[in-house]
């Protein structure tokens, strides 16, 4: 072959080693752990961030970005899955989970952050080269280029069914909740479109950190001296840490005189403590105490009144956490590991009893970004007998004239009103107390006598509380 007849050859692109971006790599590792090992993001992330800081890979801004990427990707997974499904030519279940995690992370950067399009795509492709290899990185590149063709609103218009055709499906895609959860929340909330939209949107917001000043040990005034601290909305013991506030940096928290506790949980303890009693007020029980947030507040309130608290928890390691939370309580208390449905104490022992029962946690979706995708409607059937059993024994544990608080961090009617109604039917010797006047200044608590708090109305988790007096 003569020199002239040869086509000039394009010079081969020199191979470039993929660059590992520590923030995206850490976010990917966290997503894999959540996906593969059913880990919880709020437990997986802190040790990964600590390790990255110790290695010198990360500063505070990197840590904030990695946290945002993980939480945002998990919260918005429902919407992003619908978008990604529209950009790939096979069902999502046939896409390898690690590939899907990189695609979701890239989609969140494109549709849910202000990261410029070019940087969002190239950082995701670079991550794909590191963790998946060059071949699959090309696939990621092709899909994300399609995702980048519209913004979030544009995609929602394309992939969500119209509200009028199917309101629940529409809201499920727009606000990234499983359809059955949308349905259940709407049943409990009632009302029209505006309320449920506000609630679902609130579930996608990052909650502020709220502290509790444990009475007799710390004061709200002391906590308010911290940077970025503002007063709570409803509880006199609550202080909110706005953007950037670090609970670990607060001395009273480090010393256990204050703790991190949502205001909804504080209100549950305060309402139970404020319920009127006939006769003595000396013995209090928290029958499902682990990890001890409400027990620590109840213990401090009981101490101020000269009452004692028994904090009981089935799981021994969680009973250990309760003991830690109550350490230094200003009055007498005891912590035991016991099954609340087969209690070691005698019936009629207590004046006030709290049972904050295990539940689906659908009222705390703001805090646990992956929880909504893990929960199944069948979980309600698993919890139902335990919730009824715990309420039944709580009613047997309180003396005549004493009060039981039944609480859940779920607003699902099957875990709230249905449990209370079923159990009270078998206990004609009880009456519901109106809990609303016991939370003065807190608006929109429902039609009573029980109370339901809401993230979009009260800024709290969706805690439920029914107060029941034993009458005979």
Ligand X SMILES: C[S@@+](CC[C@H](N)C(=O)[O-])C[C@H]1O[C@@H](n2cnc3c(N)ncnc32)[C@H](O)[C@@H]1O
Cite the active site residues.
409
Q: Is 294 annotated as a binding residue?
A: yes
User: Minimum CB separation from ligand X for residue 339, in Å?
Assistant: 5
For ligand X, the binding residue among 313, 415, 450, 461 (CB under 6 A) is 313
Q: Is 10 annotated as a binding residue?
A: no
Q: Is 30 annotated as a binding residue?
A: no
User: Crossing angle, helix 378-397 and helix 417-425, to 10 degrees?
Assistant: 50
Bridge partners, 334 (sequence order): 310
Are 37 and 114 in contact by the 8 Å Cβ rule? The answer is: no
For ligand X, the binding residue among 245, 292, 363, 411 (CB under 6 A) is 292
How many residues of this chain bind ligand X (CB under 6 A)?
18
- Token couple for 65: 């970005």
Cα 393 to Cα 272, 388, 468, distances in angstroms: 17, 9, 13
For ligand X, the binding residue among 72, 78, 259, 340 (CB under 6 A) is 340
Q: Which residues of 109-135 are buried (b: 16+ CB within 10 A; e: fewer)?
A: bbbbeebeeeebbebbbbbbbbbbeee
User: Minimum CB separation from ligand X for residue 463, in Å?
Assistant: 10
Cβ nearer to ligand X, comparing 141 with 341: 341
Only one of the segments 2-10, 164-172, 178-186, 292-300 lies at the binding site for ligand X (rule: CB under 6 A); that segment is 292-300
- Token couple for 147: 């995702």
Query: How many whole angstroms separate alpha carbon 189 and alpha carbon 183?
Result: 10
Are 418 and 425 in contact by the 8 Å Cβ rule? The answer is: no
Q: Is 288 annotated as a binding residue?
A: yes
Cβ-based burial of 39 (10 A; exposed 0-12, middle 13-18, buried ≥19) = middle
Q: Count of alpha carbons within 13 Å of 470, Cβ hemisphere only?
A: 27
Q: Is 339 annotated as a binding residue?
A: yes
- Rg (alpha carbons) of the chain, rounded to whole number: 26
For ligand X, the binding residue among 358, 401, 448, 449 (CB under 6 A) is 358
Cβ nearer to ligand X, comparing 308 with 341: 341
User: Minimum CB separation from ligand X for residue 392, in Å?
Assistant: 12
User: Minimum CB separation from ligand X for residue 289, in Å?
Assistant: 6
Secondary structure letter of residue 338 according to DSSP: -
Is 293 a binding residue for ligand X by CB under 6 A? The answer is yes
Is 291 a binding residue for ligand X by CB under 6 A? The answer is yes
Query: How many whole angstroms separate alpha carbon 128 and alpha carbon 373?
Result: 24
Q: Is 292 annotated as a binding residue?
A: yes
Site string for ligand X, 375-414 (x = CB under 6 A): -----------x----------------------------
Is 288 a binding residue for ligand X by CB under 6 A? The answer is yes
Q: Is 289 annotated as a binding residue?
A: yes
Query: How many whole angstroms separate alpha carbon 283 and alpha carbon 264?
Result: 24
Is 339 a binding residue for ligand X by CB under 6 A? The answer is yes
User: Minimum CB separation from ligand X for residue 424, in Å?
Assistant: 20
For ligand X, the binding residue among 99, 102, 272, 289 (CB under 6 A) is 289
Q: Give the Cα-Cα-Cα angle 351, 353, 355 (nearest 5 degrees).
A: 170
Known binding positions: 288-294, 313, 339, 356
- Interface positions with ligand X (CB under 6 A): 265, 288-294, 313-315, 318, 339-341, 356, 358, 386
Known binding positions for S-adenosyl-L-methionine: 288-294, 313, 339, 356
């Amino acid at each position: 072959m003569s020199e002239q007849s040869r086509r000039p050859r394009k010079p081969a692109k020199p191979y470039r080693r993929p660059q590992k971006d520590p923030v995206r790599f850490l976010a990917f590792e966290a997503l894999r752990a959540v996906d593969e090992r059913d880990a919880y993001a709020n437990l997986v992330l802190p040790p990964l961030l600590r390790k990255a800081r110790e290695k010198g890979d990360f500063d505070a801004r990197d840590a904030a970005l990695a946290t945002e990427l993980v939480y945002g990707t998990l919260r918005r997974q429902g919407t992003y899955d619908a978008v990604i499904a529209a950009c790939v030519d096979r069902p999502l279940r046939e896409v390898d989970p690690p590939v899907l995690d990189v695609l979701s992370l890239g989609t969140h950067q494109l549709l849910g952050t202000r990261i410029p399009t070019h940087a969002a795509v190239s950082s995701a492709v670079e991550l794909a080269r590191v963790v998946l290899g060059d071949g699959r990185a090309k696939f990621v590149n092709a899909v994300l280029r399609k995702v980048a063709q519209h913004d979030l609103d544009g995609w929602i218009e394309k992939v969500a069914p119209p509200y009028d055709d199917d309101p629940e499906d529409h809201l499920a895609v727009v606000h990234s909740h499983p359809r059955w959860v949308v349905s259940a929340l709407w049943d409990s909330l009632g009302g029209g479109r505006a309320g449920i939209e506000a609630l679902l949107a609130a579930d996608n917001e990052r909650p502020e950190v709220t502290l509790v000043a444990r009475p007799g040990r710390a004061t709200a005034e002391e906590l308010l001296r911290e940077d970025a601290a503002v007063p709570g909305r409803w509880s006199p013991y609550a202080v909110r840490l706005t953007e950037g506030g670090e609970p670990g940096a607060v001395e009273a928290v480090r010393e256990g005189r204050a703790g991190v506790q949502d205001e909804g949980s504080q209100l549950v303890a305060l309402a139970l403590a404020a319920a009127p009693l006939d006769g003595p007020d000396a013995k209090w029980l928290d029958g499902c105490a682990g990890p001890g947030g409400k027990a620590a507040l109840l213990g401090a309130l009981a101490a101020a009144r000269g009452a004692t608290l028994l904090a009981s928890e089935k799981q021994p390691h969680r009973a250990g956490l309760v003991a830690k939370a109550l350490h230094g309580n200003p009055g007498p208390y005891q912590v035991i590991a016991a099954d609340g449905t087969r209690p070691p104490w005698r019936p009629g022992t207590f004046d006030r009893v709290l049972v904050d029962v295990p539940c689906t946690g659908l009222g705390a979706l703001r805090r646990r970004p992956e929880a909504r995708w893990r929960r199944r409607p069948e979980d309600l059937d698993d919890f139902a007998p335990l919730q009824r059993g715990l309420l039944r024994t709580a009613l047997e544990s309180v003396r005549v004239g004493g009060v039981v608080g039944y609480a859940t961090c779920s607003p699902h009617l099957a875990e709230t009103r249905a449990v209370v109604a079923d159990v009270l039917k078998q206990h004609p010797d009880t009456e519901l107390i109106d809990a609303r006047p016991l939370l003065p200044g807190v608006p929109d608590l429902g039609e009573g006598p029980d109370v339901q708090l809401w993230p979009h109305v009260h800024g709290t988790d969706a805690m439920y509380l029914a107060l029941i007096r034993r009458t005979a």
